[in-house]
Structure 1
Amino acid sequence: MVEVLNSGFYSTIQDFGRVGVQNYGVPHSGVLDRYAASMANILLGNDENAAVIEMTMTGAKLQFNCSTLICLSGANMSPKLNNLFIENNKVFKVHKHDVLSFVKLESGFRSYLAVLGGFQTETIMGSKSMYKGITAKYDLRKGDVLDVLTCSLTNTEHHARLKIDNFYLKTSVMAVFKGPEFNLLSNEQQDKLFSNSFTISKENNRMAYQLKEPLENNLKPIITSAVLPGTVQLTPSGKLIVLMRDCQTTGGYPRVLQLKEYAIDVLAQKFTGNMLNFSLKL
């Protein structure tokens, strides 16, 4: 088992989310940065969909009450195992009473902790992803105890490591496709979408990222229609909203762009004040 000594700013259990239940109004949910979570799981030999802890801005403090293997990926939060610094994207042994902690955020915004076999928490509608109103808990709190698989580390050596190109943590370019209502925009509006830079506002979370700079808008609201993680909506006030994994399943604002899957990973590692640009992919 793993005990949460300190949950950090906002930590949750996530996998790849819920599929096939959006017709009931249930969000996809799941890890915001699939690339990072997949890398941590793959290095451990897990299914890439195995449940991980997603930590936002600051890391949690966790005590292991069994022996297992762990791997971190995504944001660099200066992780320490028993007060010794460890690296991302490398497998480490942990023993009973070992403590994992984090010092400060060095790059990125969200870090992912994978354990051998994945976190063994409750499965609801085919997923372990925490979401308010769906799972009993929607984030981790001090005192929570998480089940994990126990393994014997006797006479085992694990050198699994992967050199990952962290360019995606630094780039500001978001690859997008045209959204269903893109062609309703004027040529001038379309040009501004791709020539202007946009700033991430303080209104950013697992549901959506709002951008500061408005885009002049004269489009009428649409009939409520399906939206997806990565959909970029344009509000009547001209505000651009980029939907993320916990977004609603329908909306009435024009859907002017759609982020590529990889671009959602990129955006998940950005925070308030960061700049971004949209790049159209044909």
Structure 2
Amino acid sequence: MLKILKPGFFTTVQDCGRFGYRDKGVPVSGVMDSYAGAKVNALLENEESAAVLEITMTGPTLEFQADTFIALGGAEMTATLNNTPVSNYKVIKVKKGDVLSYGKLESGFRAYLGIKNGFTTSLLLGSRSFFFPVTERNSIKSLESLPYSPVKEFAPKISEMKVDADLDNASLKVYRGPEFEELTDRQLGELFSKEFSVAKENNRMAYQLNETIEGSNLSMLTSATLPGTVQLTPSGKLIILMKDGQTTGGYPRILQLADKSIDILAQKRSGDSIRFTL
């Protein structure tokens, strides 16, 4: 078990996501930065679908109650194991009673903690990803424990890797959305010439942007959306749906983020700049 001494700001269990239930209104969920999540699992030679901890902005303090191996990734966030600094993208052996503590966020927004063979929390609708009300809660709590299988011996093929985390990348590559052709020349000009900044309204459901473009009064039926769908409101506000985002929406879907762009955006916080590249 992994005992949660302090939960951090918003820490969840996530895997690759929950598929096949969008017609029931259940979002995909899963790790926001798929690239970082995949890398920590790869280091530990886990299945791609192994569950990890996703740590947002402020990290937790954790006590391991059995021997195992871990790897950290994603955002650059100072971390110590028994007060000894540890770094991202290295396989780290931990013993029963060891304490992992997170400190200052230096770059990015979401960090990941992978554990050998993954966390073994309840499998619900084919996934361990936290999403209330599918799961009992939406984040971990103080003094609870997360299950994992003890591992005493592990000889990794690769003990560390250098990863291009793209934490400072501001360019989001996008595809044309279903209603892209409805945009005017003025809207297109604003969309691809402006630099936008992340609003304080950002979470696993959606990111809003501070700057606006000319709004859209297009009347349309509620239609399917995906993680990475960019919606344009009548007021000209842009909303980018993320992993826990709604499965349908009534605003024009003007752009669709590439998968890598979702990873990049997941590492942005309020005030960070982005720009769209078609």
TM-score class, shorter-chain normalisation, is: over 0.9
Q: 1:27-106 to 2 correspondence within 5 Å?
A: 27-106=27-106
1:38-85 superposed Cα distances (whole Å, 9 cap, x missing partner): 000000000122100000001111000000000001001111100000
The answer for the alignment partner of 2:3 in structure 1 is: 3
Taking the aligned partners of 1:219 and 1:279, their CA distance within structure 2 comes to 24
1:82-116 superposed Cα distances (whole Å, 9 cap, x missing partner): 00001100000000000000110011100000000
Q: 1:201-216 to 2 correspondence within 5 Å?
A: 201-216=199-214
Taking the aligned partners of 2:245 and 2:156, their CA distance within structure 1 comes to 42
Taking the aligned partners of 2:29 and 2:22, their CA distance within structure 1 comes to 11
Taking the aligned partners of 1:151 and 1:128, their CA distance within structure 2 comes to 21
Aligned residues: 278
Please tell me whether the aligned partners of residues 221 and 236 of structure 1 are also in contact (alpha carbons under 8 angstroms). Answer: no
1:186-220 superposed Cα distances (whole Å, 9 cap, x missing partner): 01111211110111000000000000111111332
Identity %, equivalent residues: 49
The answer for the alignment partner of 1:175 in structure 2 is: 173
TM-score by length of 2: 0.98
The answer for the alignment partner of 1:165 in structure 2 is: 164
Please tell me whether the aligned partners of residues 12 and 54 of structure 1 are also in contact (alpha carbons under 8 angstroms). Answer: yes
Please tell me whether the aligned partners of residues 14 and 130 of structure 2 are also in contact (alpha carbons under 8 angstroms). Answer: yes
Equivalent residue of 2:72, what SS? Answer: strand
The answer for the alignment partner of 2:243 in structure 1 is: 245
Which of 249, 256, 262 is matched with 1:264 structurally?
Answer: 262
Which of 172, 195, 204 is matched with 2:193 structurally?
Answer: 195
Cα 1:207–1:21 shift into 2, 3 Å: same
Equivalent residue of 1:188, what SS? Answer: helix
Please tell me whether the aligned partners of residues 44 and 156 of structure 2 are also in contact (alpha carbons under 8 angstroms). Answer: no
Equivalent residue of 1:169, what SS? Answer: coil
Taking the aligned partners of 2:53 and 2:16, their CA distance within structure 1 comes to 12
Equivalent residue of 1:199, what SS? Answer: strand
Please tell me whether the aligned partners of residues 216 and 232 of structure 2 are also in contact (alpha carbons under 8 angstroms). Answer: no
Paired AA for residue 28 in structure 1: V
- The CA RMSD measured in Å over matched residues stands at 1.2
Please tell me whether the aligned partners of residues 54 and 111 of structure 1 are also in contact (alpha carbons under 8 angstroms). Answer: yes
Please tell me whether the aligned partners of residues 28 and 246 of structure 1 are also in contact (alpha carbons under 8 angstroms). Answer: yes
Q: Is the aligned partner of 1:143 residue 2:136?
A: no
Taking the aligned partners of 2:19 and 2:81, their CA distance within structure 1 comes to 35
Please tell me whether the aligned partners of residues 92 and 158 of structure 1 are also in contact (alpha carbons under 8 angstroms). Answer: no
Taking the aligned partners of 1:227 and 1:125, their CA distance within structure 2 comes to 20
Paired AA for residue 271 in structure 1: R
Larger mean Cα displacement after TM superposition, 213-222 or 33-42? 213-222
Deviating above 3 A after TM superposition, structure 1's stretches of 4 or more consecutive aligned residues are 156-159
Please tell me whether the aligned partners of residues 197 and 271 of structure 2 are also in contact (alpha carbons under 8 angstroms). Answer: yes
Q: Is the aligned partner of 1:219 residue 2:217?
A: yes
Equivalent residue of 1:210, what SS? Answer: strand
Deviation at 1:255, TM superposition (A): 0.3
Deviation at 1:159, TM superposition (A): 5.8
Please tell me whether the aligned partners of residues 80 and 102 of structure 1 are also in contact (alpha carbons under 8 angstroms). Answer: yes
1:136-184 superposed Cα distances (whole Å, 9 cap, x missing partner): 1211010110111101249x68861111113x11110000001000110
Please tell me whether the aligned partners of residues 230 and 259 of structure 1 are also in contact (alpha carbons under 8 angstroms). Answer: yes
Paired AA for residue 265 in structure 1: D
Structure 1 unaligned runs (5+)? Answer: none
